[in-house]
C-alpha cells in the first residue's frame, strides 16, 4: 500500500471514529444504532494480519470499557476475538464483493455483541434472550448497512475493487 493510499485509508478510519461519537448518539436507541468503531476495526483487521486485528480490537475494546466500566473487560475480550477472526478469515470472505463484506460485518457485529453480552453477565432470562435475539441482530444489521455505505462511498480510498453484484 502506497503512502497516499495509507493516508486515505487512515482518513476513512478517522471519519468512522468521528461518526461513532458525533452521529451515532442521534440515531436513536443505542442498542440498535450502527457501531462505526467496529466497522473501522474490521476494515483494518481485514487488511492486516490476525495479530494486528486482535491488538486493535483489544485496544478499542479497552477504551470502550473505560467509557462504560460496569462490565470492564467484556468489550476488550469481544474486540480481541472479533479482530483476530476478521484478520484470519479475510481471504475467505473479503472477496471484493460489497454484499459479502456487509454479510461478514453483520456476522462479526453479532458475534462481538454475543461475546460482550454473555461475558458481561449483566442480563439473564428474558432480557438476555431479547438482547441476543432481537437487539443484537438489529444492531448488527445497521452496522452492516453502515459498512456497505462506507465501502461504496469510499471504495477507492479503501482500495476496494469490487461491486455489489454477486
* Dist. CA 46–CA 104, nearest whole Å: 10
What pLDDT is stored for residue 125 in this prediction? 85
* Dist. CA 44–CA 129, nearest whole Å: 31
Reading the chain (166 residues) residue by residue, the pLDDT tens digits are 688 888 888 888 888 888 888 888 888 888 888 988 888 898 888 888 889 989 999 999 898 888 876 788 888 999 899 999 988 887 665 556 778 888 888 999 999 889 888 888 777 888 888 988 999 999 999 999 999 998 888 887 777 665 555 4
What pLDDT is stored for residue 160 in this prediction? 67
What residue ranges do the domains of the chain occupy?
3-47+87-153
pTM above 0.85, yes or no: no
Q: Which residues contact 50 (CB under 8 A, 6 or more apart)?
A: 83, 84, 85, 86, 87, 88
Amino acid at each position: 500500500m502506497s503512502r497516499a493510499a495509507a493516508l486515505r485509508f487512515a482518513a476513512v478510519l478517522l471519519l468512522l471514529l468521528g461518526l461513532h461519537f458525533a452521529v451515532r448518539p442521534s440515531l436513536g436507541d443505542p442498542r440498535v444504532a450502527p457501531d462505526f468503531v467496529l466497522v473501522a476495526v474490521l476494515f483494518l483487521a481485514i487488511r492486516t494480519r490476525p495479530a494486528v486485528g486482535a491488538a486493535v480490537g483489544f485496544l478499542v475494546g479497552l477504551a470502550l470499557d473505560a467509557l462504560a466500566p460496569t462490565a470492564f473487560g467484556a468489550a476488550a475480550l469481544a474486540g480481541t476475538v472479533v479482530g483476530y477472526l476478521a484478520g484470519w478469515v479475510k481471504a475467505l470472505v473479503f472477496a471484493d464483493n460489497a454484499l459479502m463484506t456487509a454479510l461478514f460485518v453483520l456476522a462479526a457485529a453479532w458475534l462481538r455483541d454475543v461475546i460482550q453480552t454473555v461475558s458481561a453477565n449483566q442480563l439473564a432470562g428474558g432480557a438476555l434472550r431479547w438482547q441476543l435475539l432481537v437487539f443484537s441482530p438489529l444492531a448488527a444489521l445497521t452496522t452492516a448497512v453502515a459498512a456497505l455505505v462506507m465501502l461504496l462511498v469510499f471504495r477507492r480510498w479503501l482500495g476496494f475493487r469490487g461491486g455489489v453484484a454477486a
